[in-house]
Amino acid sequence: MQISRRTFLTAIAAMGLAACDGQAQTLNGTTGLPSDLLPVPNPAFDTWVARFRPRALGRGISAATYDAAFANAGYLPGVVTRDGTQIQTRRTFEEYLSIATSDERVAKGRAAYSRYQSTFNAIAARYGVEGPIIAAIWGLESQYGEKRGQIPVISSTATLAFDGRRAALYESQLIAALRILERGDTTPAKLIGSWAGAMGHTQFIPTSYESFAVDFNGDGRRDVWDDDPTDALASAASYLARNGWRSGVPWGAEAGTSGLSGTTIRPQTGGPAFVVTRNFRVLKTYNNSDSYALSVGLLADRIAGGGPLRGSFPPDGNGLTRLDRIAVQNALKARGYDLGTIDGVIGPQTEAAIRAFQQQAGLTPDGIASRALLNALQ
């Protein structure tokens, strides 16, 4: 059963920007993982693993590989919880783009692109995919390698296959993960990723890894997990190239800023429009979302030295523009509240800080960023 990355992400409700929306959870002091992402005893899961073994061996997995893979694997309750509740965050395109092209992400992207300039040039020469595009995917998927995931892929995919809600989907990912171990590309200890099994710098699922990953540095392994991102970056380029990327063709541009011809889309009412080309559609094979593909293109442009959008977005439902929301965040930060990244997006951390300020100021603690709140902060 061949599962594409696009199909996989659609099936798990398009997780969106990697590592952008954290969840408040109790962390285990030893591993740094949320406590519900650590193995717990589950006899039914153990029975499933034993019964799955002959099926895996029938698919070409050796007994030694299977047993080594499951030696330290276990049932992860938090994976099941996330699979059952993960829903695409209902963000506006402006909010999505604010996260994707934040000043911090752009600055880190430019630094990473400069640091690996020769690698990006070599990848572009072989696959015809421009370096800033690959750098942007890297930035959105793992914050340039900072957040690659720490969850054992065998445990996560086996847990989801056992759970049965999408058994065929995750069984195929589990078998592919076992084949990765069978070939010796990595070890069970290093085969880690997100809660749903996406792995490495550019978050390949196991079946996409099998189809598109490459050994670019020539060390005999297709290593997308290593601190050295070379193989992962080249693998993302391989993916785009084989899905139809055309070298030298722009992904698109903000409408009215170039003479580019193509399809015009406007992802948010009242916001900027964009002219997109066939390469935009190729970006959507990586994640089937207009917001994602536009963010890759726009982040790539910023990494390459371009400026922000010329167009603007309308005020939100509370009457605040992005600059107003940034003013709210900056005012809260100045009062000592921890907000994370200042990006104009009112997420859980900002809402918590707003409620704390409102309680301290004797206001109704509704957590809403409003004009009245901005006035109170100022």
Q: What is the distance between the alpha carbons of residues 215 and 225, in angstroms, rounded to a whole number?
A: 12
User: In the predicted model, is pLDDT for residue 16 greater than 50?
Assistant: no
pLDDT at 67 over 70: yes
User: Does residue 310 belong to any structural domain of this protein?
Assistant: no
Measured distance CA(347)–CA(340) in Å, rounded: 10
330 and 191 assigned to the same domain: no
**Within this chain, do residues 225 and 125 fall inside the same structural domain, yes or no?**
no
End-to-end CA distance of the chain: 58
Q: Is the pLDDT of residue 193 over 70?
A: yes
Distance CA 38, CA 50 (A): 20
- Residue 209 covered by a domain: yes
Helices 153-163, 167-183: axis angle to 10 degrees equals 150
203: alpha, beta or left? (left if phi > 0; alpha if psi -120 to 50): left
Q: Comparing 2-16, 46-60, 175-189, 336-350, which segment has the lowest mean pLDDT?
A: 2-16
Band (pLDDT 50/70/90 cuts) for residue 1 is very low
**How high is the pLDDT of residue 6?**
58
Q: Give mean pLDDT, residues 159-185.
A: 95
- Give yes or no for residue 79 having a pLDDT over 80: yes
Burial track 69-89 (b if 16+ CB lie within 10 A, e otherwise)? bbeebbbbbbbbebbeeeeeb
Gap between the Cα atoms of 73 and 56, Å rounded: 16
Report the alpha-carbon distance of residue 105 to residue 297 in Å, rounded.
14
The tokens for 197 are 């099994």
DSSP structure class, residue 160: H
Residue 208 banded pLDDT, cuts 50, 70, 90: very high
Q: With left for phi above 0 and alpha for psi between -120 and 50, is residue 184 left, alpha or beta?
A: left
Residue 314 lies in a domain: no
Domain count, the chain: 3
Q: Name the pLDDT band for 375 (thresholds 50, 70, 90).
A: very high
Say whether pLDDT at 12 is over 70. Answer: no
Q: Which domain holds residue 28?
A: 5-88+145-242
Mean pLDDT of 176-200: 96
Is there a single domain that holds both residue 76 and residue 166?
yes
Q: Which of 243, 250, 249, 222 is nearest to 234 (CA)?
A: 222
**pLDDT, tens digit (0-9, with 9 covering 90-100), for 88-120:** 457 899 999 999 999 999 999 999 999 999 999
Same structural domain, 351 and 205? no
Is the domain of 208 the same as that of 229? yes
12/54 same-domain check: yes
Domain finish residue from 242, 261, 294: 242
Q: Do 196 and 269 have their domain in common?
A: no
Say if 315 falls within a structural domain.
no
Assign residue 260 the CATH number of its domain: 1.10.530.10
What is the pLDDT of the chain when averaged over all its residues? 91
Q: What is the CATH number of the domain that holds 230?
A: 1.10.8.350
User: Cα separation of 137 and 317, whole Å?
Assistant: 31
**Beta partners for residue 199, in sequence order:** 193, 204
Asked if 376 contacts 361 with a C-beta cutoff of 8 angstroms, the reply is: yes
Both tokens of 222, joined, read 């297709």
- Within 116-204, residue ranges assigned H as helices are 117-127, 131-142, 153-163, 167-183
Domain-located, residue 172: yes
pLDDT recorded at residue 28: 54
Provide mean pLDDT across the span 161-174.
93
Does residue 250 share a domain with residue 235? no
Q: How confident is the model at residue 171 (pLDDT cuts 50, 70, 90)?
A: very high
pLDDT score for 9: 56
Say how far apart CA 46 and CA 355 lie, in whole Å: 45
